[in-house]
Amino acid sequence: MRSTDNTKPPPATAPPPDGLVNLKSRLAVLGAGSWGTALAVRLSRNGHNVSLWGRDREAISAMAASRCNTRYLPEGILPETLTPTADLASAIAGIQGIVVAVPSEALRGILGQAALAGLPLTCPLLIATKGMERETALLPHEVGQECLPHHPLALLSGPSFAGEVIRELPTAVTLASRDTATAQFFATVLHDRVFRIYRGDDLVGVALGGAGKNVIAIGAGLSDGFGLGANARSALVTRGLAELMRLGTRLGAKTETFMGLSGVGDLILTATDDQSRNRRFGRLLAEGYSVEEAHKKIGQATEGVRTLVALEQRRRKSGVDMPITQALHAVLYQGADPLRTLAGLLERGRTDEFPVRGSLHAE
């Protein structure tokens, strides 16, 4: 298929022999938002030929002309080895690896489009999406396994604001895969002096940590927006993590995953720094903005809002009590008063911080 956006992808290289990475691999990043752009720049700076695909042809053409994603990451210059394109078929032609960094609601559709556009069979897939599919309550890797069952899969998550990544500020993240060769491939192409990769195999724990932290960050923003103080925020974040751990272990995750970068690390970042869209969203609600008004002011996807529906669904199905999640769901989707609801959490009855081992009920 001929490209219609006046850009040419770099020439494809041969597949890496014996699972090793060539000095210059041919890679594609799907999703030209802030996170996808930051990852594409990171890969390009590491010496790889990268196609950055986005569906907005005008935005992609502007990016190719200016060599900058002026809408989301104006501080970052696109390397010469990075090719913005709106032609999906050319973006994935001859690639040795694909990274998907789109909002959770778009993940299934984009993976399906990539398969139809000729994604090379068994091409390794790295999902950098944080969230859950609202309609099915599936985690990103579960969506990936349904859509591309024959492709080895990995997840990328952890405390990583895109703006800091593109400015080359030190960042450490978790890359999880049950396939050793896939984990090694993506760790090799991404890891460098400022972007450190820690590998693991707990897909459920990494995915749930990346999704759930956005929900808890909305609560932290609400709490701070109402002026409830640092003590309340700290309590909310800590108990929010406990909720995610209860659900995660019920779904087969490892407890220690939630103590790592993709768990408590990402939660602390998202719940305490105003670079977080989810935290800012909560603050705007506390200031009296409606959900729709808050979305407009932020101007980008707020994953926690969509994830909240799926997380509540998954919690009910699993029979796990998650008071903070339930309270936030009541605020956003049932018209509950935000301040009264948060106060109600603090007025809950006394209990043990660490209940009997194996309990899935709220502490």
Q: Catalytic amino acids?
A: 213
Instruction: Tell me whether strands 97-100 and 125-127 are parallel, antiparallel or unpaired.
Output: parallel
Residue 252, helix vs strand vs coil: coil
β-sheet bridge partners, residue 29? 52, 99
d(CA 175, CA 8): 30
Q: How far is CA 149 from CA 199, 258, 307, in A?
A: 22, 27, 24
Cα four-point dihedral sign 357, 361, 362, 363: negative
> Across the chain, which distance is largest between two alpha carbons, in Å?
66
Q: Where are the beta strands (DSSP E) in 36-147?
A: 49-53, 68-69, 73-77, 82-85, 97-100, 125-127
Q: Identify which of 157, 154, 109 has the alpha carbon closest to the alpha carbon of residue 134.
A: 109
Q: Encoding tokens for residue 311?
A: 């997380």
- Stretch (H or E) spanning 205: helix 203-225
Angular region, 93: left φ>0, alpha ψ -120 to 50, beta rest: beta
Instruction: Give the HSE-up count for residue 145: Cα atoms under 13 Å, Cβ half-sphere.
Output: 11
Instruction: Tell me whether strands 153-157 and 171-176 are parallel, antiparallel or unpaired.
Output: antiparallel
Answer yes or no: are the C-beta atoms of 129 and 203 closer than 8 Å: no
Q: Encoding tokens for residue 256?
A: 């220690």
DSSP secondary structure, 139-170, as one string: -HHHHHHHH-TTS-EEEEESS--HHHHHTT--
